[in-house]
């Protein structure tokens, strides 16, 4: 007598290993923003470009190795840093152009110093003929503050000195905010021509021999 066939067993698919269930699911480390990427973006905002570039480079290498998040932040830090570099370059270029237009750094005759310009020179020299135009915002030795009119034709040297000093002293008080005789600053003048002309024929300057000034002395009351 033949044996009955064995009962048909339902096919049971084999379960995949547990590891395969996690395929494609980001790990906690991959879900977090990379801390170096965050730090790079934060430091790029105030313009700390060297630090931001280093941190962004580290972040991109870490993200490539671990598959973490933060690539956009790292690239954002690079973009912001580039903007800072471009802005700084433009500012430096404009400043250099402005200095060139103002003649800063140029050596000129003392009579060619324009009112409102600062300069570097040896104020203790017996004869001052040339000066170097300087930026008033940085340390300098002197400043041209006014041109005054004075009729000096036919006057002797001591009379010329008296008239020119009086005229420059009046402008000194208006410019500095303190009478010349009570000021710590010294006053100088250059006679451009003897006859009085509309735009002034005596150039008035101020300074402190052996000392350097910073900023214009307008209204300083020194």
Query: pTM of the predicted model, to two decimals?
Result: 0.52
Q: How sure is the predictor about 100, in pLDDT bands with cuts at 50, 70 and 90?
A: low
Q: How sure is the predictor about 79, in pLDDT bands with cuts at 50, 70 and 90?
A: very high
Query: What number is the average pLDDT over the span 91-108?
Result: 64
Residue 219, token pair as written in the block = 């209204």
CA distances from 52 to 42, 80, 84, 106, 131 (A): 8, 9, 11, 39, 44
Q: How sure is the predictor about 32, in pLDDT bands with cuts at 50, 70 and 90?
A: confident
Q: What is the dihedral of CA 208, 213, 218, 221, to 10 degrees?
A: -60
pLDDT at 111: 83
Query: What number is the average pLDDT over the span 11-22?
Result: 57
């Amino acid at each position: 007598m033949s044996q009955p066939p064995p009962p048909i067993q339902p096919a049971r698919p084999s379960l995949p290993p547990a590891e395969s269930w996690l395929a494609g699911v980001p790990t906690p480390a991959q879900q977090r923003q990379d801390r170096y990427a965050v730090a790079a973006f934060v430091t790029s905002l105030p313009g700390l470009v060297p630090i931001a570039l280093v941190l962004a480079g580290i972040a991109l290498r870490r993200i490539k190795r671990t598959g973490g998040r933060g690539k956009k932040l790292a690239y954002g830090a690079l973009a912001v840093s580039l903007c800072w570099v471009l802005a700084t370059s433009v500012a430096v270029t404009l400043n250099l152009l402005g200095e060139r237009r103002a003649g800063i750094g140029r050596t000129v005759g003392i009579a060619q110093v324009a009112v409102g310009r600062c300069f570097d020179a040896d104020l203790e020299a017996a004869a001052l003929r040339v000066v170097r135009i300087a930026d008033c915002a940085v340390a300098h030795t002197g400043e041209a503050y006014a041109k005054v009119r004075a009729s000096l034709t036919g006057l002797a040297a001591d009379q010329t000195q008296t008239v020119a000093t009086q005229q420059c002293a009046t402008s000194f008080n208006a410019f500095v905010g303190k009478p010349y005789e009570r000021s710590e600053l010294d006053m100088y003048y250059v006679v451009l021509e003897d006859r009085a002309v509309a735009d002034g024929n005596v150039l008035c300057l101020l300074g402190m021999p052996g000392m350097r000034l910073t900023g214009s002395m307008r209204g300083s009351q020194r």
